[in-house]
Amino acid sequence: MKVFAFDENMNRIGELKYIQLLWDRNNTEPGGFTLYQQSKHYIEAAYIMAEGRREVGIVYKPSYKSDPNGRYVTTEGKFAEDMTNDATTGHGMTIVASKRMNDQFMSYLNAKGIKEANDSESMKQRDEVITRCLDVGVEMYRILALDQESFQINWNGGWEIKFVKPRDTGIRFSKGIGNAKEIVYSQDMSVYKHKCTGYVEIPDDVVKEGYSGTSYVGGKYYESDSFTSTLKVEDRFKQKEMSMDFSMPEGLDITAANKSKIKAQIVQMCQLELLNHYVIRDIEVTPLQIAGCRYLIDYDLGDIVLVEIPEVGITYEAQIIEVHEVWEKNTQTYTITLGHKKIKR
């Protein structure tokens, strides 16, 4: 795979000859790259792109090393999705269910010179979400993960964002079929929580003005609600619960009239919190290229696929959330990682 260097204005300035290239794509956070080369082939670049690929790599960290075998440069960076973290969300902005979600995210990104691509997909409408004061990209990944959605940042004469939905390919990876060289499966329940109950403090004066149905704990009034996971787990794991004390962000006044909105927001925040306490199921597949099962043609990052794991007697449906590619002279290997971060609403 040829790799080219670009200046800060995205003008191509040369080809980067390398010894090894690691190309790590990710569906739930910005991916990245590591390029290892002889120093004589080094080109000072702002961005890199690979032939036939959409990803744009932002060069963050070139480092130099000399040893008895020669002089080398290792260049590291992240893909352009990291640009979305140059903007910060306003604390308390409501992502409104009745409005097109894309447009609400774009209010931040337009100011950074990023426009929405013509072929961008409209994200699924969902319950209202209150943003936290975090990087925009972090918040977008967090909220979109609820429905296994994601986004891409591409260069098309200017920076564009493309929102993408998962694609159900129907592809089944199996050693028996002959399209998987190796399948590694692991499951970790150590951080799993099945239910989250959230609390929001209601000021005394609001209670006196008619806000009813609160709990009185430790001299304070609280509104509460909860979200329970719909995952099928053993009964012993259904006992794993957690509680969170939430502060309501600015933009939603704590009044008796807003009681239903406050409860709905607590449920939403509980749902999002459970994403951090999910079943960690990782499946790593080393695919083989065969007809009907070709990487970047028949399946790609973000797609939904099936994996047969006869050792544990299951066929698992999951999303491709990572692709780790290794490019060396005349050889290419890659491993796909599948996960499932969707909590059904």
DSSP string, 276-294: GG--EEEEEEEE--BTTB-
* pLDDT computed for residue 12 by the predictor: 98
Asked if 199 and 272 sit in the same domain, the reply is yes
- Report the alpha-carbon distance of residue 114 to residue 154 in Å, rounded: 10
pLDDT above 70 for 228: yes
The predicted structure's pLDDT at residue 301: 96
Question: Within this chain, do residues 172 and 295 fall inside the same structural domain, yes or no?
Answer: yes
**Residue 14 binned pLDDT confidence (cut-offs 50, 70, 90):** very high
Say if residue 185 is in the same domain as residue 302.
Answer: yes
* pTM given for the model: 0.76
Alpha helices in 17-156 (DSSP H): 101-109, 136-144
Q: Is 126 within the bounds of a domain?
A: yes
**Percent over 70 (pLDDT), the chain:** 91
Given 277, 307, 323, which residue is the final one in a domain?
277
**Angle (CA) 321 323 325, round 5°:** 170
What is the predicted pLDDT for the residue at 329?
Answer: 86
Placement of tokens 């973000």 in the chain: 302
8, 121: one domain: no
Q: According to the model, what pLDDT value does residue 344 have?
A: 30
Residue 344 placed within a domain: no
Highest average pLDDT, of 17-26, 176-185, 273-282, 300-309, comes from 17-26
* Predicted confidence (pLDDT) per residue in 106-120, tens digit: 888 998 899 999 999
Distance of CA 333 to the CA centre of its chain: 23
Q: Does residue 138 sit in the same domain as residue 99?
A: yes
Q: Total structural domains in the chain?
A: 4
**Which pLDDT value is given to residue 341?**
39
Judgement on whether residues 97 and 40 belong to the same structural domain of the protein: no
In a shared domain, residues 263 and 212:
yes
Residues 113-150: pLDDT tens digits?
A: 999 999 999 887 766 565 666 788 888 888 888 788 99
Domain membership flag for residue 248:
yes
At 59 the three-state DSSP class reads strand
Q: In the prediction, which pLDDT does 265 show? A: 85
Instruction: State the pairing for strand pair 168-173/304-309.
Output: parallel
- Is the distance from CB of 305 to CB of 320 less than 8 angstroms? yes
Which of 220-224, 276-280, 337-341 is the most confident on average?
220-224
pLDDT score recorded for residue 42: 97
Over the chain, what is the mean pLDDT?
88
91 with 110, same domain: the answer is yes
Domain span at 32: 3-78
CA atoms of 90 and 34, how far apart (whole Å) = 33
CATH assignment at residue 330: 2.40.30
Structure confidence by residue, pLDDT tens digits, 291-334? 999 999 999 999 999 998 877 677 888 899 999 999 998 889 99
Give which of 162, 153, 111, 119 is closest to 10, Cα–Cα. 153
